[in-house]
Chain A
């Protein structure tokens, strides 16, 4: 069974640009969540989608957005990039939403903003 797939793996953007990251969950998983990892802030929850609906949202500005498609694939978008957005963005999937479901991560997308 294929794991969580994230694309692209590495990208470099300029301040003010926007970026879209893609995530394909494990087959059969309907919940997809996104996380930002930086050396200073550690791992922080961005948002979670289940059945194409945003179920939970972390404490991030509106420049960070996401969506989920009917096949459970998800995208996240960051507009008006800032230097501080440089991070590893991790996507994870689980069968269902809820506290007792194990989530599995992809390899992440390394974003550098210059």
Chain B
């Protein structure tokens, strides 16, 4: 079965510093996508970054980069130059095939707090 693990329930970072949010995954499907979403208190899930299982290079989107280590089944999110507005829940997710067909699995999330 597919599974996403995020071992950090909460993280603190000083404004303007970089922070890494951990994510490991498990799947037997060779073709999958890895995603990171940000969820502020309003509830909306905001797409941040995507990494395909066949992508050779790590994905980057502005201040967000994904440290993809396929052999370790790891897809950590790196946020550079943290801002106060980055305080939110962050979810790692994977889309691939399971017994039901294509499915989308989320990790439990990491709550990031940026300190002034």
What is A's interface to B at a CB cutoff of 8 Å?
Answer: 33, 35, 42-45, 48, 55-59, 88, 90, 92, 97-108, 110
Contacts and interface: CB of A to CB of B under 8 A. Distances in A.
15 contacts: A35-B104, A35-B106, A44-B106, A55-B102, A56-B100, A58-B103, A59-B100, A98-B102, A99-B29, A100-B32, A102-B50, A103-B104, A105-B44, A105-B47, A110-B43
B108 A102 contact: no
B43 A88 contact: yes
Q: Which range holds the interface residue count of chain B?
A: 20 to 34
A3 to B, nearest CB: 9
A100 B31 contact: yes
A85 B63 CA distance: 37
Contacts of A88: 43
B103 A45 contact: yes
B101 A56 contact: yes
Nearest to B101: A56
Contacts of B101: 55-56
